[in-house]
Amino acid sequence: MALMTAKEYIESLRKLHTRVYMFGEKIENWVDHPMIRPSVNCVAMTYALAQEPEYEDLMTATSSLTGHKINRFTHLHQSAEDLVKKVKMQRLLGQKTASCFQRCVGMDAFNAVYSSTYEIDEKYGTHYHENFKKFLTFVQDNDLTVDGAMTDPKGDRSKAPHAQADPDMYVHVVERRPDGIVVCGAKCHQTGSINSHWHIFMPTIAMGPEDADWAVSFACPSDADGLYMIYGRQSCDTRKMEQGCLIDVGNAKFGGQEALVVLDHVFIPNEYIFLNGETEFAGMIVERFAGYHRQSYGGCKVGVGDVVIGAAALAAEYNGVEKASAVKDKLIEMTHLNETLYCCGVACSCEGCPTKAGNYQIDLLLANVCKQNVTRFPYEIVRLAEDIAGGLMVTMPSQKDFQSDLPVGREGETIGQICQKYFAAREGVSTEDRQRIMRFLENMCLGAAAVGYRTESMHGAGSPQAQRIMISRQGNIQGKKQLAKSVAGIKE
């Protein structure tokens, strides 16, 4: 099958029987629901750009499995150059959507599971790697969106999976059959889960021998029997449901999406199982997926950051302060922070190396340094954007007020006319344009988009402490001590 178009992708979602719940109700037509559709549009952009000759080099690749042209989001990285192109592709999509385009988790899961299954089979003689290659070939041939599902609810985090009062706090096997397994549990904060054709489930922590039933990885369709999703709230999300208030939304066309994905006795055939009780490899999958996903943030968050910086510069221009040295300096600092993140994403890619399976893995230390910076710099970028924009970003009347023809003034002025008058921008800039950029910044800094930019920068791909643990492991302090001893003339 050829690459899907954006329209074909959206239509393919309508053929699924995915169960979606929101506000205590089942959502029948979730594809067109005003709160969900912006996130569908974001994923659709990954298909649309792959059709454009201008972006072909970034958005597509040649499959190492079939030799066919495929969307890069379904690709197994074959070189450091591939890893760099991944980051550049993610920055491009961040620039085009100013939001989370959701296919990164699947791409990162593909590469982590591919190399890990090879090494599991090498030790145990299992057939997980062949299972995965067949599954990924199916995904590539049909240009599917696959959600990478890793984060379990965890319950009491001081206890291992087997020690939880409720065993469902981690996804686990409840029954083993000759033809497959039955699983229960849930995955939290699942980016793009509703918009995905399939899911890949992975462990979320390293595990011990007693956790064998929880050491499981597999693929299943998003509309599998027993699988359902509960949509996650975002700040200011119901603005999308208000009639005639698209300006108030800020970014009306694009948006992110998270959900709770519940597995209620879901049957998984043997052909879709990639890990089943080999506990010592759970940590490998987690570490490799986390490394790839932390690299991703050096691309996607940078692209969104480009748009935030542009919006802040426009706000300064509309306010008439773009020439002020303090404003210029703030924009320089925002740019410096954003490009530093990009440098980290490119650096961990350039230092990548082949795995035993043959696909390329990023430099884990530098990937974790990248994500550690992402937990900080977007917060400062947002702070500076809010500083430049001013208080109007969060105190402006609604779009309906700006359009109201209700008389209130002594001379018959309407509410709309009063708003137009007192919130006017500099000469040559319409009040509506100023209104739009302020609402956009509100959305990026505080609203629904902040979930996929600011807050996701903190907790996506693991909390800051998770990266610090990996930096400690990968930092080679003992080797550095030896360097110091050698230069200082200290003999063993």
Give me the active site residues, please.
100, 104, 191, 258, 293, 297, 300, 456
The two structure tokens encoding residue 457? 């920068």
CA distance 76 to 61: 9
CA distance 21 to 228: 8
Q: How far is CA 233 from the centre of its chain?
A: 16
Per the DSSP assignment, residues forming a β-bridge with 186 are: 262
| DSSP SS3 for 414 | strand
Output the CA–CA distances (angstroms, integers) from residue 269 to 171, 173, 218, 275, in the order listed: 16, 13, 9, 13
The two structure tokens encoding residue 280? 């010592």
Question: 28: number of CA atoms within 13 Å, CB side?
Answer: 0
Output the CA–CA distances (angstroms, integers) from residue 33 to 38, 113, 440, 462, in the order listed: 9, 33, 21, 30
| List of residues 6+ apart from 389 with CB closer than 8 A | 312, 315, 437, 438, 441
Q: Which residues of 110-134 are buried (b: 16+ CB within 10 A; e: fewer)?
A: bbbbbbbbbbbbeeeebbbbebbbe
| List of residues 6+ apart from 8 with CB closer than 8 A | 47
Residue 173 has phi, psi (to 5 degrees) of -85, 125
Q: What is the number of other CB atoms lying within 10 angstroms of the CB of residue 249?
A: 25
CB 447 within 8 A of CB 240: no
| DSSP SS3 for 127 | coil
Q: Which of 105, 71, 44, 132 is nearest to 295 (CA)?
A: 105
The two structure tokens encoding residue 367? 């990937």
Output the CA–CA distances (angstroms, integers) from residue 147 to 121, 257, 258, 486, in the order listed: 24, 12, 11, 49
Per the DSSP assignment, residues forming a β-bridge with 275 are: 217
Residue 262 has phi, psi (to 5 degrees) of -105, 135
The two structure tokens encoding residue 129? 């790697």
